Amino acid sequence: DTAVSQTPKYLVTQMGNDKSIKCEQNLGHDTMYWYKQDSKKFLKIMFSYNNKELIINETVPNRFSPKSPDKAHLNLHINSLELGDSAVYFCASSLWGGGNTGELFFGEGSRLTVL
Amino acid sequence: QQQVKQSPQSLIVQKGGISIINCAYENTAFDYFPWYQQFPGKGPALLIAIRPDVSEKKEGRFTISFNKSAKQFSLHIMDSQPGDSATYFCAATEETSGSRLTFGEGTQLTVNP
C-alpha cells in the first residue's frame, strides 16, 4: 500500500521531447512537492502545492509546469527537454502547518535521462 | 544560496564505530531540524528530528546534538552497522512555512563489515 507513488520510475528520452511524471498520495495530506535530485545527490525543491494552490515556485525554467487536479495528485510536465534536465525527480507530501511535524513523505523517484 | 551546509561529503566507518555528520545553518528563523536517510533507489525518509528548545534528542542508536548559539547540529550514529550505509541529509525549516525544507548537500555513509 504505497503512500506516495510516482510513475514512471524510469524515463529515457531525446532532447527536445516533452514528458510527464505523475504523482499520487493516499495519506490524506494537503501539501505536495516536487524535488529535483542531481547527480551529486543534492535535493532542491522545485514546486509545492497546498490544496491545489501553488505556494512555492522556485527558480525553475518555465519549461517545467506542475499541475494539481486535486490535493491527492501532483503531476509534472516538462517541455523541450534539455540534457541538464537529467536527474531524479521526487514527489513528496506533507501536512501543512498547524502543528505538522515537518515530515515529508517521499515517493521512490523518477529517474529522467535525456540523451 | 546554500542555507544549510553539511559535512563530510562522504564517510567510511567500521562496523561498531561511531558515525558523525555535521550541519550548520544561517537562517535564525529555522525552528525544526530533521535528518533524512536515503537508500539507493529509494526516496529520503525521516530518521529523527529536533526542535531548538532541546540540545539533544536520542532515538535508539541515533542522536542529534543541537547548538543554537553556534547554529550547528549533528547526527551521531552509535554502533554503526552495514545496514546504516546510506546517504544522510540534514534539513531545516520554519514550521510556519509548511514543511518547506532546505536540505544540506548530503553525506554518503559506508559502514564496512
Find chain B residues with C-beta within 8 A of A97's C-beta.
Answer: 95-96, 98
Q: Work out the pLDDT band at A102, boundaries 50, 70, 90.
A: low
Confidence (pLDDT) at B2: 62
Tell which B residues from 35 to 54 touch A, by Cβ distance under 8 Å: 36, 38, 41-46, 49
Tell me the chain B residues in contact with residue A42 when contact means C-beta distances shorter than 8 Å: 103, 105-106
Average pLDDT over residues A64-90: 95
Least confidently predicted of B45-59, B71-85, B98-112: B98-112
A109–chain B Cβ distance below 8 A for any pair: yes
- Mean pLDDT estimate for chain A: 90
pLDDT digits (tens, 9 = 90+) for B7-52: 999 999 999 999 999 999 999 988 889 999 999 999 999 999 998 8
The per-residue pLDDT for range A45-67, each reduced to its tens digit, is 999 888 888 888 887 899 999 99
Q: Is the confidence at residue B100, as pLDDT, over 80?
A: no
CA angle B30, A106, A23 (to 5 degrees): 125
pLDDT band of residue B97 (cuts 50, 70, 90) is: low
Would you tell me how many other CB atoms lie within 10 Å of the CB of residue A100?
17
Instruction: Confirm or reject contact between B59 and chain A (CB < 8 A).
Output: no
3-state SS, one letter per residue, for chain A: CCCEEEECCEEEECCCCCEEEEEEECCCCCEEEEEEECCCCCEEEEEEEECCEEEEECCCCCCEEEEEEECCEEEEEECCCCHHHCEEEEEEEECCCCCCCCCCEECCCEEEEEC
Hey, are the CB atoms on B98 and A42 less than 8 Å from each other? Answer: no
